[in-house]
Structure 1
Amino acid sequence: MEVEIDEKELKAIGAESLTDGRRGLRIRGWEIESCKRSILTSLELQLWEEKLQTSHFPEMIFGNSSLVLKHLASGTKIHFNAYDALIGWKKEALPPVEVPAAAKWKFRSQPFQQVILDYDYTFTTPYCGSEEVYTNSEEVGRDIVDGGPSLCWEDCEEKIDMVALASKEPILFYDEVILYEDELGDNGVSLLTAKVRVMPSGWFLLFRFWLRVDGVLMRLRDTRLHCIFGESSFPVVLRDSCWREGKFSALAAKGYPVDAASYNDPSIISERLPVIMHKTQKLKFITNM
């Protein structure tokens, strides 16, 4: 999705592009920035192995890529990155998805090798974003100050208005950031992405983990965030989290196709997968003193 809007048009609606080579936008008290970098180098990967205490990683990790949203008045910062996502993967430690081949599966190894899968090789993560509150114009991160302030999300009955989001409104900024990806040894796909689009009325973000183990299982973990600017200094931000999961055998029992080619686009098949977890929350802003 290409967005072609010049600075005069942005200025007319109270927005401006970020400077200093950064990709993003300032609008209605928000600073939204996407950063896309190449995959980790071997040296960087070695450092991650030491910090995360594991040698198991997705084939492609875009470890220096990120998507960051800052609300300047409140010091609210919401961001998405591969490192924190893999922390979530390691903590959840799901059992490996069983494949029909055998107890031992030739997976991302040399032809003469066989490895026993004793870890979650799908890199499924419960991660739905990182949060910080910064003060005095200096960002204070969780890793810097122990017990530092964090955001407050409250369960709510309000829902993200997807119909309104589908209306034809000018898109001022759009980007998609891939955080990690793995083809599961040509047996499927494991993909973690963050997409954002900014309109005059607000911004919408989709953070998605998509898994397809061919012939066995599909898993979709979506986090949607919608910010409505409104007239108040503190906008309305809703977060919708929905996990779906289903086996190919269950889909076949309902008469759906089971060939992997039919399931390349998670957006199309998401409604076929049973809901495992669903909740909606609203962000409670706290004045930044």
Structure 2
Amino acid sequence: MYEFNPILSLLAVDAGLRSIMISHGFKSSKQDFTFGPWKVTAAKNHIMKSKDVERLTEELNLPALPEMLFGDNILRIQHCDGFGIEFNAIDALKRIHNTDDTVQVACAQQWQESRVASEHPQEVARPYDWTFTTDYRGTLIGEEMQLKVAETTERINLEKLRAREQIVFFDEVLLFEDELHDHGVSMISVKIRVMPTSFFTLLRFFLRVDGVLIRINDTRLYHEAGQKYMLREFCTRESNIAELKSVPPSLYTDPNEIAQHLTFKLRECEKLEFPEQEPANDDLK
């Protein structure tokens, strides 16, 4: 069990909040929260500058990038021995399938044509996933040791997560967002909550193409104190708008509400096992 000091925990969160810098209405912040052998870092910064967007567009070989790209935003969960996992926008974009197997709707052509005047007109005509759909599940970190990924039948106990338990730290980080030229929204964000005996992370990609479809890719990450692994579940839900006739349209814009009405397409469960430690490091546990 993590040895939490409630007073110190609240002070740590408060210190992070005091580090927020307000500039022209935008809050740029960086919070570090330590609990047990773990450290969470949540950084929120300004939208990526145009020159950096141009460079990244070339590196990723994509004709265009999301309108609001937060390249310096990050959520990192790192063990004191160096291994861990982080979530960032650049790696999320690398998981976009640069093919012509995309959502084919009338507004897709209109959306691409709208960018000809302002974004690499010689390239925009090339087929690519204009919805920015990504199946990103996080980036494993660690120079000497990393988490080991293995398939598992074990599932995250969501009922246990719904139980009332003190939340000692919470944050949410937006990685990118695009309004698809006023034809919907494509966005990905990650949130974390830390409890006295566990932590839970939800990385959510949400896509709504107005009049066409709604898609949600969720990655849930859970770790309980005393266990030598994390559980990671990835699932995809998707429905055409025509299949949602019985659902009030007011729910279409709320990922939390519409998720339960979408058709389940895929679930993959993994165990992120901690690397074996050298005997000399035993005193760190």
Interval of TM-score (by shorter of Structure 1 and Structure 2): 0.7 to 0.9
Cross-structure match for 2:24: none
User: What do you get for the CA RMSD once the two structures are aligned?
Assistant: 2.9
Task: Tell me which residue corresponds to 2:71.
Answer: 63
Q: Could you list the per-position Cα deviations for residues 189-222 of structure 1 after superposition, in whole angstroms to 9, with x for gaps in the alignment?
A: 1010000011111110000100000110111000
Letter in 1 for 2:150: E
- The answer as to 2:235 corresponding to 1:242 is yes
* Contact 2:62 2:128 (C-alpha < 8 Å) held by counterparts: no
Shift in Å, 1:49: 2.0
2:95 partner SS: helix
Name the one with the larger helix percent: 2
Report percent identity of matched pairs: 35
Which residue pairs with 2:281 in the alignment? Answer: none
Gaps of 5+ in 1: 1-6, 136-148
User: Residue 287 of structure 1: CA displacement?
Assistant: 2.2
Q: Which residue of 1 aligns with 2:173?
A: 177
Runs of 4+ in 1 over 4 A off after TM superposition: 15-22, 110-117
2:136 to 119, 127, 146: 127
The answer to whether structure 1 residue 280 and structure 2 residue 285 are counterparts is: no
CA shift at 1:16, angstroms? Answer: 5.1
Match of 1:83, as an amino acid? Answer: I
CA distance in 1, matches of 2:116, 2:57: 25
Q: Contact conserved, 2:203 with 2:218, CA < 8 A, in 1? A: yes
Q: Is the 8 A contact 2:63 2:126 kept in 1?
A: no
Code of the aligned partner of 1:226: Y
What amino acid maps onto 2:260 in structure 1? E
Q: Please list the CA deviations of residues 94-128 of structure 1 after superposition, one character each: whole Å capped at 9, or x if unmatched.
A: 62312245x83245727999975722111001111
Per-residue deviation at 1:250? 2.1
User: Is the 1:107–1:184 Cα contact (8 Å) retained in structure 2?
Assistant: no
Residue aligning to 1:77: 84
Q: Distance in 2 between matches of 1:117 and 1:262?
A: 34
Amino acid at match of 2:92: A
Task: Provide Cα deviations, 1:16-72, integer angstroms capped at 9, x if missing partner.
Answer: 568895403111101111000110011211221232223310110000000000012
Question: Given the alignment of the two structures, is residue 118 of structure 1 paired with residue 153 of structure 2, yes or no?
Answer: no
Alignment partners' CA distance in 1, 2:113 and 2:178: 10
Give the residue type in structure 2 aligned to 1:43. Answer: K
Shift of 1:150: 4.3
Q: TM-score, normalised by structure 1?
A: 0.80
Q: Is the 8 A contact 1:96 1:117 kept in 2?
A: no
What TM-score, normalized by structure 2, do the two folds share?
0.81
Q: Which moved more, 1:206-215 or 1:113-122?
A: 113-122
1:108–1:185: 8 Å Cα contact kept in structure 2?
no
SS of residue matched to 1:120: coil
Q: 198, 203, 210: which one pairs with 2:206?
A: 210
SS at match of 1:98: coil
- Structure 1 residues 28 and 42, CA, compared in 2 at 3 Å: closer, same or farther? same
Aligned-partner Cα distance in 1 for 2:181–2:39: 39
| Deviation of 1:236 (Å) | 3.8
Which residue does 2:103 correspond to in 1?
A: 97
Q: What is the match of residue 144 of structure 1?
A: none
CA offsets per residue over residues 135-194 of structure 1, 9 Å max, x none? 3xxxxxxxxxxxxx6431222222111111112211111111000000111111101000
Work out which of the residue numbers 251, 261, 265 in structure 2 matches 1:262. Answer: 251
Q: Which runs of 5+ in 2 are unaligned?
A: 20-29, 279-285
Mapped to 1, the partners of 2:115 and 2:273 lie a distance apart of: 51
Matched residue, 1:3: none
C-alpha spacing 1:54/1:110, structure 2 compared with 1 (3 Å): closer
